[in-house]
Structure 1
């Protein structure tokens, strides 16, 4: 398994996929740097007038509703529709799902364009599936990742998608298998937008692979392992942010393989 995942990482470095991000402005810089570090090429474009052209030249599309507003929601819907019609892989990050009616309405519309992957924390996945009632604390999860498995399975079955539940254990589910990834470090939760960076990295990986589920596992393992290693030379969340970008860029196969903690169910 580790050889297959490392091959996914190498594919991104070799092909440098163009990733069109319609994302939130809190994390744009970090997200772009993370994509560059793994070997991808980021575009951050939100203007409705150029959405279709951008989607057409991109390998994949990332839609992150973190700083949602009326204009950006229209751009996101255009991007999701264009990706769906062009059969381009796209990933949805349902930041703050369940927090407001506005977010939920936009998410319901976005889901109609059947994202290739959905990545969110447990509370967001539960809210998105409406499989349970839970409180979303802003963009932070009040549920553990394993509490969202049934909600994730509902999304997989209903929208023919892959769901990645982020948490202490990352859980990746498709229609026939489940991966558990136990990499990462608690200090990573103190750096804003690392989940958004994970979403963007997944976006890069699904742009160059034929095995989308395996590419999601590779992307989540990569950022988790890079975080583990970066913590060792960091004094706090500020230096971790910098060191993590460096490790995404220079991680070796030996480092990846020796730290990988993955289980297939």
Structure 2
């Protein structure tokens, strides 16, 4: 087997892990696929004889591509009007796409990806590769042009910045679904009091419209403001909605004649809704499909 065939075989064998790395780094399935394509191109310029651990080598290669992409995208995201949200991974009960299933089984919530977005590219890479994928700091250091000690400090700084900001959802999926179903029912009915009981007092509601105009605020904080918004828009919007898995958690998908209109990621903590992430950006919804 020549080098090209060997790399092709290894790349496909490790693709699910590589895609998970890229998605955590970039928050976009589309960009993650671009990163894997670029990483594959770079393998064609390498020799297998110089590699002693192909899994670690491929992960660090994808990490190097991702940090280049993050740095080039950073200024664009800083100039974004409104809220930036990740591209969601969505599944309905009837979806049996093996690739989607793999992503969902190893996915992270939208809320965590939003927080990761607040990190500097080098911090994000050190944290993701080391804390989420176990890559040693001596392998991370060359990617960020640091010593292993400095790479360790990047990850430590990322942990400090994330501490207290990462919302940990209830692990019990049936409980999540029950809360989301109740939220949908209260929104359809415009039931303000029912919504208040379902929402955490400090609930955060974020909206990513992409280029679409949005009449309401892109960010709301607090149960009363979020409940008022849901009471106003829910009776019409919620009729288009159905439950779905969004990044492995109970969420909502809205559809119309044109296809998928919105995806809603919901973070349930202690049986109350702590975060709502509404994705309306058509570019991020273009890859979302549901079965008829």
TM-score (norm 2): 0.27
Which has the higher Rg, Structure 1 or Structure 2? 2
TM-score (norm 1): 0.29
